Amino acid sequence: MIKALMISILLALSSFTFAIEISELNPVQTLTVKPKNFKEAIEFNITLPQSYQKNTDKEYFIIFDLHPRSQPYLSGLHDWLSHNGEWPWLETIVVTQANYHPELAKLFENTVSNPNNQDILDFFEFDLLNAIDKKYRTNGFRIYSGFMGNGALGLYTLLNRPQLFNAYIIASPTLADDFAAVSSTANTKLAKLDDKL
């Protein structure tokens, strides 16, 4: 009888799910940015650290990734690494594009075909990053995250406007066909970088 009761309790406990929705831990807000030459505004997901609303004097660094699908894993990773009193990672505001945006994709393509066209870097610097800093408590430390094409764009950003981000997490950058002249100009441009950046 006791054995049957214990088995029933264990089965009942095993049927409970202990998964926590990341949006409950880290609220997601929408930031709308309208570049001056765009017809349509661009929406970005801003995933805030759990402590953001409680610690109103605290400023946070940001991690930015262009790909909309990067939001769940970046938010989960940063929550996981910072939930023990910000050890081993500090709490972070995660910024990702909410959806594919054709005009932003066109800026990307224009940079790849004409590396002297830095309109996408202007958008990052003067529109997006300014809008984030105005609305959220940021501390000025910015991380660029990118995979494949977006990773190659991160390298392009590092070479052409290194002051935009303080750190880069680049995975498998797609550099075939001298993407945005990254490979052909890297030696010259890297030599000019200040080692304090």
Residue 70 included in any domain: yes
Q: What pLDDT sits at residue 12? A: 60
Residue 10 included in any domain: no
Tell me the residue range of the domain where 114 lies. Answer: 23-192
Residue 26 three-state SS: coil
Residue 144 included in any domain: yes
* DSSP type of residue 146: E
CA angle 75/63/29 to nearest 5° reads 55
CB count in 10 Å sphere of residue 39: 8
Residue 105 included in any domain: yes
CATH for 169: 3.40.50.1820
Q: What pLDDT sits at residue 18? A: 55
Residue 14 included in any domain: no
How big is the chain by its Cα radius of gyration, in Å? 21
Q: How confident is the model at residue 26 (pLDDT cuts 50, 70, 90)?
A: confident
Alpha helices by DSSP H, listed for the chain, are 2-14, 22-25, 70-82, 102-113, 119-122, 129-135, 149-160, 182-192
Token pair 């998964």 is found at 19
Taking only the tens place, the pLDDT of each residue in 158-189 is 999 999 999 999 999 999 999 999 999 999 99
Taking only the tens place, the pLDDT of each residue in 69-125 is 999 999 989 899 998 889 999 999 999 999 999 999 999 999 999 999 999 999 999
What average pLDDT does range 39-52 have in this prediction? 96
Residue 77 included in any domain: yes
Residue 115 included in any domain: yes
Residue 164 included in any domain: yes
Q: What pLDDT sits at residue 15? A: 56
pTM of this prediction?
0.86
Q: What pLDDT sits at residue 127? A: 97
Total count of domains within the chain? 1
